[in-house]
Amino acid sequence: MPQPHPELTLLYDGSCPICLGEMEALRQRDTHGRLAGIDVSALPAGASVLGVTREAAMQAMTGVHADGRIIRGVEVFRRSYALVGVPWVATITRLPLIAPVLEGLYPVFARHRQRLPNWLVRCLFGRALERARRHCRGTCPRP
C-alpha cells in the first residue's frame, strides 16, 4: 500500500536520459510509495522546490527527506535503493575501497551526463531497467 507522504523526494534532471532511466528503475521497484520524483529541468531558472534551487538540483541528484533533510550525490542512490528493497546497493557503495571512488567520480559523471552517447546509456542502464520490470511483473506503480 503506497504511503500518503513519501519518505524521500528525488529532484532529478528530466532532460537527462540517464536520470530518466534511473528514475524509471526506482519507480518500478517502489511498490510501497516510499519515493517521489520532481523533474527540476522543467522549472524556470531561479526557482526552488523543497528548499533546493533548480540550479543546485541540476548539478547533482538531490533527495529531500520527509523531515526536510537534504542529501546529494551518491548518498541519494544509496538511500533510494534501500527504500525500494535493494539494500545491497547501499552496502556495496559504502565499502572502503568503493565509496571514495564513487564519491570522487560522481561529480564528474553528473557534470558530463548529457554528453554521454545513447548507446552507452543503454549499455549501462538497459539491463537495470529490464531487471526492475521483471521484478515488478506489472504490479509496480507507473509514473
User: Measuring CA to CA, how many Å separate 40 from each of 62, 68, 79, 93, 130?
Assistant: 10, 17, 20, 26, 26
Domain boundaries, the chain: 8-136
Q: What is the pLDDT of residue 142?
A: 43
What cell does 40 get?
527540476
CB-based contact 61:77 (threshold 8 Å):
yes
The span from the CA of 143 to the CA of 127, in Å, is: 20
Q: If the chain, 143 residues long, is cut into consecutive pieces of 10 residues, what is the mean pLDDT of each piece?
A: 79 88 89 95 94 95 97 96 94 95 92 80 69 55 43
Q: What is the pLDDT of residue 31?
A: 92
Q: What is the pLDDT of residue 141?
A: 45
Q: Name residue 63's beta-bridge partners.
A: 10, 71
Q: What is the pLDDT of residue 113?
A: 85
Q: What is the pLDDT of residue 2?
A: 52
pTM: 0.81
CA 124 from centre of chain = 15
CB-based contact 64:15 (threshold 8 Å):
no
Q: What is the pLDDT of residue 104?
A: 95
DSSP 81: H
Q: What is the pLDDT of residue 83?
A: 97
Q: What is the pLDDT of residue 84?
A: 96
